[in-house]
Amino acid sequence: MKRKTKTLFMTVGTGINPNSDIEGHKRLAKGIYASLHKIYPDYIIFFASELSQNTIKYIKELFEADDDEFIEGEDYEIVVIEQIDNFNHCFEAFEAKIWQFDILSEDKGEIIMDYTSGTKTMSAAMACCGMFYSKDLITVSGDRKNGIVSLGTESIQYQNLYKVYDRFSLMRVRNYFNANRFYTAGEILENIVDTNIHKEDLLNLVNAYYAWDNMDFDIAYDYLTKVNLDYLEFAEIRDDLKINLKALGTIVRSPHENLKNCYILASLINNSIRRADEYKYDDAIARLYRSFELIAQIRLNSYCLISSDIDISILLEKGVSEDFIKDLEKTRVDGKIKIGLIKDFELLAELDDDLGKYFIENRNKINNLTQNRNNSILAHGLESLNKEDFDKFEELVENLAHKLDKDMAKFLKETKFAKFDLRLKLNRI
């Protein structure tokens, strides 16, 4: 057999009809033979039913007539398909050969899959298998008589599946977006070639949420404003994107410091919930701890106090006890008094603030939670935290957040990331 390139050729169906005469099988053999000479594969796999194997005998005769050997086991093999109308049976037979000659083989080469002949089920299964494993799919077209392409009219048609692959990629993007794997989603989008898919807007979308997930609000807002929400790709999440855009806009552009900070706090709490959803509890609790601290800092700001530079004169005006002030003075370094989370809440208690009172009333519970956090591998210890640890800490932080601002439920809702409805069928996009 003549060879041109290192190619494996897989074809389905070498029979035409159980009642066909010898001439019918010979005509089909000539058609297959003509196709093989257009491709010149190194090796051929015939997938055939028990009845249709006779055609291969006539193909062999055609090779011999051209003084070319066609040896079973060296040039070709036959895989008998026992259930020609069972999709899974056919698919697994094709898949097994792809694994044998490609995935598990060190001597790899091109694989061409011809799904022209065979039962409808065999052809459908081969087309799906070829698409799934990204193999070249071909059909043989030409003038047909009695279902067979007439000799001399054969034309091999390679099937360009870029639209299918791109839509499959788009579904992967939606899945990765929902899983908060925005960078990966962006990498997949870069390989999409179908101009009917609004690739740039989708890239702006994933870049926006990647930045937001990293608390880079300005960049997130900039990217999200570039997304054309009128496109069909965003139809199901359009309303949620508008809500998210409004929240980001408040963080980036609002002149009201307290409102801006409350949206940042809500973003941080939702960020921790996303990490917990990924079973990254140490990471999630680290973010909750920062949220806990931020709550106190936001409330202190309402008293014109900054925890990184406490103004003692304000404390005197507010009637804070001398003993507490003396205790703070001991921590003064380079002219500044800087206090941490515990002192923040103790100071709020001195100011007779509700958050400070809540802290004092629940001090033992809070100490246990913060101690767990301190023992975390991402804090000062070597322990790994779990869902129970996260749930307890989240309950504390959300309670305090709602006490901080009566509209916190609204802030949390508006900073919760949009999600695609993965139940939607691919062809609706």
Which helix (H) or strand (E) element contains residue 47?
Answer: strand 43-48
Of 159, 175, 198, which marks where a domain is finished?
Answer: 159
Q: Give residue 179's pLDDT.
A: 95
Task: Say if residue 2's pLDDT is above 60.
Answer: no
The number of residues making up the chain comes to: 429
Task: Say if residue 285's pLDDT is above 60.
Answer: yes
Q: In CATH, what number is assigned to the domain containing residue 84?
A: 3.40.50.10770
Is 221 inside a domain boundary? no
Quick check: 47 and 79 in contact, CB under 8 A?
A: yes
Task: Say if residue 6's pLDDT is above 70.
Answer: no
Residues 145 and 270 in one domain: no
Using a pLDDT cut of 70, give the percent of the chain over it: 91
Higher pLDDT, 164 or 312: 312
Rounded to 5 degrees, what are φ and ψ at 141?
-110, 175
Q: Give residue 30's pLDDT.
A: 83
Residues 140 and 259 in one domain: no
Higher pLDDT, 14 or 48: 48
Distance, in Å, from the CA atom of 246 to the CA atom of 321, rounded to the nearest integer, reads: 43
Of 140, 159, 178, which marks where a domain is finished?
Answer: 159
Average pLDDT over residues 30-59: 86
Confidence of residue 428 (pLDDT cuts 50, 70, 90): very low
> By mean pLDDT, which of 12-21, 81-90, 328-337, 413-422 is the weakest?
12-21
What is the DSSP code (8-state) at residue 294?
A: H
Task: Say if residue 164's pLDDT is above 90.
Answer: no
Residues 276 and 154 in one domain: no
Q: Give residue 429's pLDDT.
A: 45
Residues 272 and 140 in one domain: no
Is 109 inside a domain boundary? yes
Task: Say if residue 256's pLDDT is above 80.
Answer: yes
Q: Give residue 387's pLDDT.
A: 94
Q: Give residue 152's pLDDT.
A: 59
Q: Give residue 145's pLDDT.
A: 56
Average pLDDT over residues 406-427: 86
Using a pLDDT cut of 90, give the percent of the chain over it: 67
Supply 236's token pair: 């199901």
Distance, in Å, from the CA atom of 209 to the CA atom of 192, rounded to the nearest integer, reads: 20
Q: Give residue 261's pLDDT.
A: 97
Residues 278 and 135 in one domain: no
Distance, in Å, from the CA atom of 394 to the CA atom of 365, rounded to the nearest integer, reads: 13
Range of the domain at 110: 6-159
Q: Give residue 51's pLDDT.
A: 77
Q: Give residue 108's pLDDT.
A: 79
Average pLDDT over residues 146-162: 69
Q: Give residue 21's pLDDT.
A: 64
Residues 271 and 130 in one domain: no
Nearest to 408 by CA among 274, 294, 281: 294
Q: Give residue 329's pLDDT.
A: 93
Other beta carbons within 10 Å of 298: 20
Q: Give residue 20's pLDDT.
A: 56
- Ranges 19-23, 297-301, 361-365, most confident: 297-301
Residues 138 and 271 in one domain: no
Q: Give residue 246's pLDDT.
A: 97
**How many structural domains is the chain composed of?**
2
Q: How many helices (H) and strands (E) does the chain have?
A: 18, 8
Is 176 inside a domain boundary? no
Average pLDDT over residues 57-64: 90
H helices present in 191-321, as ranges? 199-213, 217-225, 238-253, 257-277, 281-302, 312-317
Task: Say if residue 406's pLDDT is above 50.
Answer: yes
Residues 12 and 148 in one domain: yes
Average pLDDT over residues 66-79: 91
- On average, the pLDDT of the chain sits at 89
Task: Say if residue 95's pLDDT is above 50.
Answer: yes
Q: Give residue 389's pLDDT.
A: 94
Is 185 inside a domain boundary? no
Distance, in Å, from the CA atom of 283 to the CA atom of 289, rounded to the nearest integer, reads: 10
Q: Give residue 25's pLDDT.
A: 75
Distance, in Å, from the CA atom of 36 to the CA atom of 217, rounded to the nearest integer, reads: 60
Of 138, 159, 180, which marks where a domain is finished?
Answer: 159
Q: For the segment 165-208, what is each residue's pLDDT rounded down to a tens digit?
A: 898 899 999 999 999 999 999 999 999 999 999 999 999 999 99
Q: How far apart are the first and last CA of the chain?
A: 47
Q: Give residue 5's pLDDT.
A: 43
Average pLDDT over residues 396-425: 92
